[in-house]
A = this chain, B = another copy of it.
Amino acid sequence: MAVGTELLLGQIADTNGAWLGEHLAAVGVASHFHQAVGDNHDRIVLALRTALARSDGVIVCGGLGPTHDDITREAIAEVMNVPLVRDEAVLERIAALFSSRGRTMSPSNARQAAVPEGARVIPQRKGTAPGLICPVGHKVVYAVPGVPYEMADMFERGIAPDLRRRLRERGEAEGVIASRVLRTWGMTESRLADVLAAHIGSLDQAAISSGGETATIAFLASGIEGIKVRVTVRAADDAAASARLDAEEATIRHVLGDAAGDVVFGVDDEAIEHAVAKAVTARHLTLGVAESLTGGLVSSRLVNVPGASAWFRGGVVSYATEVKQSVLGVPEGPVVSAAAAEAMAVGACRVLGSDVGLSVTGVAGPDSQDGRSPGTVFVGLARAGGAAESAELAVPGDRQRIRQYATISALDLLRRRLAVLLAD
């Protein structure tokens, strides 16, 4: 259950529901309903009662902040039919957080230490609002902040362990739902589906005959995160689920590999920059980047990798043509071209002192440039003192999507070419 008028007004989209659905499945808990409700006391109470009537447990996200429209605590207390009491440990933690930042706690922040009587606290770690575990008869309401990373942290520390304990006590610890995501780049979503169609058909057959242990495959295009192939299995326990996922992963890699080579660049949370980091560090190289239409996106992805300073030297965002020429040494002529991409990659090696240079130039649109239409992208690669090469791509979408696709395409090309580049 998500709380916040901004959700109902369409000012932000709820992403917590999808995240929780995925992670509840991993604990073996089925999600039957999602709800969203505005910052209105009576309607939050009504939604909570509805949710408790049709489910064994409810997770409420949002409405725990310090301001007057944060009223989830009060609504839960009404549903529990108990008063709010001040939790001194929570109050101290909030006060300490403020004093550590050299600020004084405002009265509205003190509201965040109010807890429905009989509720347990999930201590806050990143923000000021604690989470709550609120028993309602033999059912339970969990309350966590709506900020995604605070919600996720409290789910892992507080909610998941409590759910597992409840499942055990009910003798329902049998069975887990687990999934694994293979991240790919280089095939469209429908091409992936076509290539895997025969395998998916055989899984459907097996599910019908087994009636229990099943595996399903789904596809999800995720922009700069790649196109995801998700395998979900239901099995007796973690070990069985893990073995089944391993077998499915091997089959999928095999089928895709036969069709289009090394399209799987990562598993689960492993993004394209992690794959690049692995390839670069395995060969003890350093990397420099020169980018034009992506405007810093490629570099900003690379520094996401912990320890990037060991191998990432830096980048030049050569947005203006004169910067391409004066800083990177790109010759006169069209800047959306193979020659410009290669010169940019060579320039990146030289200016940034890196072993390998990666470059991206192209047209983000909406207008054409140098007679090239939006979506035309050149990726360049160079070795310090060695040869340069380039590839031309045509990527779809608007300005924003062209940038994102150009970024993942460039990083994927680097990942695939590193072995070859070094063997030259």
**B-binding residues in A (CB < 8 A):** 2, 4-15, 17-23, 25, 30-40, 43, 46-47, 50, 54, 65-69, 101, 106-109, 126, 147, 149, 177, 179, 181, 189-191, 193-194, 197, 200, 216, 218-222, 230, 232, 289, 291, 293-300, 302-304, 306, 308-309, 312-320, 322-323, 326-327, 351-353, 364, 366, 394, 396-401, 403
Whether the Cβ atoms of A194 and B106 lie closer than 8 Å is yes
Rounded to whole angstroms, the CA-CA distance of A39 and B10 in the bound complex is: 24
Other-chain residue from B12, B36, B147, B299 in contact with A296 (beta carbon distance below 8 A): B299
State whether B33 touches A9 (Cβ < 8 A).
Answer: no
Q: Cα distance A364–B303 when bound, in Å? A: 10
Give the docked Cα–Cα distance between A338 and B7 (Å): 42
**Whole-angstrom distance from the CB of A259 to the nearest CB of chain B?**
13
| A319 x B303 contact (CB < 8 A) | yes
Please report the C-alpha to C-alpha distance between residue A293 and residue B230 in the assembled complex, in whole angstroms. Answer: 33
- Seed contacts A14-B34, A69-B219; 9 additional CB < 8 Å A-B pairs: A9-B31, A35-B36, A65-B189, A66-B189, A101-B396, A149-B401, A294-B300, A295-B299, A296-B300
CB-based contact A35/B33 at 8 Å: yes
Chain copies in the assembly? 2
User: Which of A7, A11, A191, A289 has its CB near the most chain B CB atoms (within 10 A)?
Assistant: A11
Contact A32 B37 (CB under 8 A): yes
Quick one: given A6-B218, A66-B190, are A11 and B54 in contact (CB under 8 Å)?
no
11 contacts between A and B (CB under 8 A): A8-B34, A9-B21, A13-B15, A33-B37, A33-B43, A65-B189, A66-B190, A107-B194, A291-B296, A299-B319, A309-B319
Residues of B contacting A398 with CB < 8 Å? 126, 149
- How many whole Å from A193's CB to the nearest CB in chain B? 4
Q: Is the CB of A8 within 8 A of B37?
A: no
Collect the chain B residues with CB atoms within 8 Å of residue A31's CB: 8-9, 38
Are B7 and A108 interface neighbours, CB within 8 A? no
Q: Are B300 and A297 in contact (CB under 8 A)?
A: yes
Chain B positions within 8 Å of A191 at CB level: 106
Q: Are B7 and A17 neighbours in the complex by a CB distance under 8 Å?
A: yes
Does the CB pair A179–B9 fall under 8 Å? yes
CA of A320 to CA of B320, assembled, Å: 23
For A304, the chain B residues whose CB sits under 8 A away are 295, 400
Q: Is the CB of A6 within 8 A of B220?
A: yes
Cβ of A46: which chain B residues have Cβ within 8 Å of it? 54
List 10 tightest A-B contacts by C-beta distance, closest first.
Answer: A296-B296, A295-B303, A10-B22, A296-B299, A10-B21, A315-B317, A296-B300, A10-B18, A34-B36, A67-B193
Are B313 and A302 in contact, with the CB atoms below 8 A? no
Least CB separation from A107: chain B residue: B194
Residues of B within 8 A of A181 (CB): 11
B108 touches A147 (CB 8 A): no
> In the complex, how many angstroms separate the beta carbon of A410 from the nearest chain B beta carbon?
13
Which residues of B lie under 8 Å from residue A296 when comparing CB positions? 291, 295-300, 303, 315, 317
Find out whether the CB atom of A7 lies under 8 angstroms from the CB atom of B33. no
Cβ 8 A contact of A317, one of B101, B193, B216, B299: B299
Contacts of A179 in B (CB 8 A): 9, 11
